[in-house]
Structure 1
Amino acid sequence: MYFSINTSYKVFMIDKKTAIYNCGKELFSSNGFKDTNISDITKKAGVGVGTFYNYYDSKEKLFMEIFLDENVELKKNMMVSIDLEDEPGKLIKEILKFNLNGMNSNPILKQWYNKDVFNKIEQLYREENGINSVHFLYDNFIDIIEKWQLEGKMRKDIAPDFIMTIFFSIINMDTHKEEIGIEYFPEILDYLTEFVMKGLAI
């Protein structure tokens, strides 16, 4: 009897966390991170504010979990949509293009362009995973870079994580297109990618 009660209790607790997660995702998607607060989420989920803190330390923590899950889903879709056997220059362009389009079309991932929001999320991630962690949006592409280096298609004198930082720098320019000149986008990203890939090629 004790086992049965304990099992039901665990299921009930999991359901509460799922409700908080799903309602948070819905509200973040419709209202944005800034205009969604914990009381909005708990009210929609039908739980108390105290219950929220049983699972998440903050609104940022919940958003980061949702953001990372959405990013993983984007990467999965990307991996079945691109040809990993394409030559490096073409493949990187396809990856960056797919990533930008995916982030622009997803209301959760689009928060990346809100630097007030994203800086908090990135800081939280680095606090938990180390200040020198590879940027969490692109770290799984290191395997592709290492493969190219082993195949002699890319320079080996530059560390893979540093190469990822170079690619992140290109992507990050999209958040500054108004400052640079929106009339130059997305062509400037294509040219920069081309120049970088030529510099990395052997």
Structure 2
Amino acid sequence: MEDKKLLIYDCAKELFREKGFKDTNISEITKKAGMAVGTFYNYYSSKEKLFMDIFLEENSKLKQACFQSLDLEQSPMDVVGQMLKLNVEGTKANPILREWYNRSVFEKLEQVYREDNGIDTVDFLYDNFLELIVLWQKRGKIRNDIDSKMIMMIFAAIINADTHKEEIGLEYFPELLHLMTELIMKSLINCSDS
């Protein structure tokens, strides 16, 4: 049974990479997997649910790769700036993660994610960073009067600004992200470290 689910997953991942979310349908996925459409629904309730599972796995891999390439001995300002830069570059380079920038697609997918995981579970964006934030707080490198999870949501908000770049104005990117990150980090870093 798990072999069929994995086959559906792998075939869908390949098609989503090649064609994108909107241009891939369930019948194509099952045809590529060599099974009936009905078999799909034994494992996934919808194309959105399957895509979100794939997206989250790809997102997690990217975050791990970014995190592992960081020089954690640098200042919090430099580490966060580097992480955000690597994240944006990695997202743009991955066709599945690039769907993040397709607002109409991602709004629908985000709704599926929230329905499955609850409104409060949005820390898939920077879950690897939580331990580092807590460590910085313990060492006095960043403010500890703000909850570490709230700090992670601040970083998520920076990334989310990228999905609204057309509304804000393309001519301001990527300088806007850099400036926002710098201003936020300056407010998070303790006065003794500034």
CA distance in 1: counterparts of 2:95 and 2:76, whole angstroms: 30
Correspondence 1:195 to 2:183: yes
Match of 2:129 in 1: 141
Matching of residues 52-131 of structure 1 within 5 Å: 52-131=40-119
| TM-score normalised by L of structure 2 | 0.93
Question: CA RMSD of the aligned region, Å?
Answer: 1.3
Matched, 1:22 2:15: no
Q: Any unmatched runs of 5+ in structure 1?
A: 1-12
Deviation at residue 117 of structure 1 after TM alignment: 1.8
> Mind listing any 5+ residue stretches in structure 2 that lack a counterpart?
none
Per-residue deviation, residues 121-143 of structure 1 (Å, max 9, x unmatched) = 22222223221223322233111
1:134/1:161 contact within 8 Å kept = no
Runs of 4+ in 1 over 3 A off after TM superposition: none
Task: Kindly provide the CA deviation profile for residues 34-68 of structure 1, in whole angstroms up to 9, marking residues without a partner as x.
Answer: 11111110011100011111111111111111111
CA contact (8 A) 1:17 1:55 kept: yes
Find the residue that maps to 1:36 and give its secondary structure. coil
Given that 1:21 and 1:66 are in contact with CA atoms closer than 8 Å, whether structure 2 keeps it comes out as yes
In percent, how many aligned pairs have the same letter?
Answer: 61
Rg (Cα) greater in structure: 1
Q: Distance in 1 between matches of 2:58 and 2:154?
A: 23
Superposition TM-score, scaled by structure 1 size = 0.89
Q: Which moved more, 1:94-103 or 1:14-23?
A: 14-23
User: In structure 2, which of residues 138, 147, 151 is the aligned counterpart of residue 150 of structure 1?
Assistant: 138
1:104, 1:140 → 2: CA distance? 20
Cα deviations by residue, 1:4-25 (Å, 9 ceiling, x for unpaired): xxxxxxxxx2222222111100
Task: Describe the superposition over 1:53-108 as per-residue Cα deviations: whole angstroms up to 9, x where unpaired.
Answer: 11111111111111111112112211221112211000000000000000000000
| Whole-angstrom distance in 2 between the partners of 1:166 and 1:123 | 20
The count of aligned residue pairs is 190
Question: Taking CA–CA contacts closer than 8 Å with sequence separation of 6 or more, which of the two structures ends up with the larger relative contact order?
Answer: 2
